[in-house]
Structure 1
Amino acid sequence: MRQKVFIADDHPLFPKGLKGFLEENNFDVIGEAPNGDLALKFIQEIEPNLAFLDLDMPGMSGLEVAKMCYESEIQTKIILLTFHKKSYIYHKPKSLNISGYVHKAFAVEELLDCIEMVSKKGTYLSTRILSEKTGLKFAEKPLKPTPSEIKIIRFIADGLTTKEIANTLFVAERTIDKHRSNIVKKLDLDKKHN
């Protein structure tokens, strides 16, 4: 069953790109809003599985919407999207039951991993942002492939092409290309193996 997804962002282009990406990956985008007030109303009425909220919107912010959902015991999982790198936000997810925090610049790269983590009742905080704010050297530690990437590695080992893997997983070829690129970086492979 496809997950029902809601997007709230006041920027005219970002939600359009996010909606296309999610629909390509078999998510059902059932609503959009340009501000926090309409976002809260929609989430309260429909309770989608996931809500992607811009941190800074007219009316209520993404954090304020998340707070209201938390206080109303709404089961929708909230994922915040932003261009900002504010350290105070990292203390908010647990207190407001926010499931994910993704920097917009890395959204396409991290979104599927974020959704996968959130679906398993985990919390996803972009390691790229955390490394810049906390001084942690994530890039120097060996990065493990995600469950999605492990699945793709197995398909590659079986000799499947990018197109065949995309058709098998019902995703866009560029999604597989992105995973392949991440696999090469994480496993420190020679580019010719990509």
Structure 2
Amino acid sequence: MRKAIIVDDHPFILASVRLLVINAGFEVVAECGNGIDAVQQCQKHQPDLMILDLAIPGLDGLDVIRRLKEKEIPTKIIVLSSQQSEQFTLRCLQAGAVGYVSKKDNLSILTDVINAAMAGYSFFPQLTLDAGENTFFTGEAQKLAALSNREMMVMKYLVNGLNNKQIAESLSLSEKTVSTYKSRVLEKLNVSTVLALAEMAQRHEIE
């Protein structure tokens, strides 16, 4: 039987996704609530499929994808996230994920996405047809595209009201490092306050 790992720190999502993955013909060999465990369990089990949230403790989802690709583990990764932003979707595609499903959609769509992924297809409905190849943005979107993946995750936590200490705990970083990332984000986006940052995030569906 094909093997799958589910990575999410919300018990309800885990339970719902587990049922869908099992119904799609997979054995769920591990469930993880943080990115560090996700990488370790993927190395251990070498699963055919991983369902991965982006906003997880330890290592964020983008870091998990990057590390698994660096280790050349051939697991097909489908991101399941509350984010609907094209910025995050494109980053997942570029990192090596094969699909992106919003938690705001009916989760039953995940079965079709899994089947498509295992047949060799990709699923990124948030992206325009040429977004995978054309990474040129204008104005604010261009500035957002210039942020590193870690800076994007710090921005996400900031606009959700987390302070430096809370972000540091979520990403397993020091408060000083988070403060540095925060300063870089504000500078690169040419905004001076977290409120202005939140307004920009809202315009680009980053939440």
Contact 2:78 2:98 in 1 (8 A): yes
RCO comparison, higher one (Cα < 8 Å, 6+): 2
Task: Give RMSD over aligned pairs.
Answer: 1.8
- Rounded to whole Å, the distance in 2 between the matches of 1:71 and 1:107 is 32
Give the structure 2 partner of residue 8 of structure 1. Answer: 7
Query: Offset of 1:59 from its aligned partner?
Result: 0.8
- Residue 25 (structure 2) pairs with residue 21 (structure 1): no
Q: Deviations over 1:45-75 (max 9, x none)?
A: 2110000111100111111100001111110
Give the Å deviation of 1:107: 4.9
Question: Hey, what's the Cα distance between the residues in 2 that align with 1:107 and 1:49?
Answer: 23
* Deviation, structure 1 residue 78: 0.8
Cα gap change, 1:102/1:87 in structure 2, threshold over 3 Å: closer, same or farther? same
User: What percent of counterpart residues are identical?
Assistant: 30
In structure 1, the residue matched to 2:83 is: 84
- Structure 2 vs 1, CA of residues 24 and 121 (structure 1 numbering), >3 Å: closer, same or farther? closer
Identify the residue that residue 48 of structure 1 maps to in structure 2: 47
Could you tell me which residue of structure 1 aligns to residue 139 of structure 2? Answer: none
* 1:86 CA drift (Å): 2.1
Distance (Å, rounded) in 2 between the aligned partners of 1:19 and 1:41: 19
Structure 2 unmatched runs, 5+: 132-207
CA-CA distance at 1:90 after TM superposition: 2.9
Distance 1:40 1:49 in 2: 14
Question: The residue matched to 2:104 in structure 1 has which SS?
Answer: helix
Residue ranges of structure 1 left out of the alignment (5+ in a row): 135-194
Report what 2:58 is aligned to: 59
The 3-state SS of whatever aligns with 1:106 is: coil
Residue matched to 1:38: 37
Map of 1:171 onto structure 2: none
Cα displacement string for residues 145-181 of structure 1 (whole angstroms, at most 9, x for unaligned residues): xxxxxxxxxxxxxxxxxxxxxxxxxxxxxxxxxxxxx
**Deviation digits for residues 116-156 of structure 1 (CA, Å, limit 9, x no counterpart):** 2211222111x3x448xx9xxxxxxxxxxxxxxxxxxxxxx
- TM-score between the two structures when normalised by the length of structure 1: 0.61
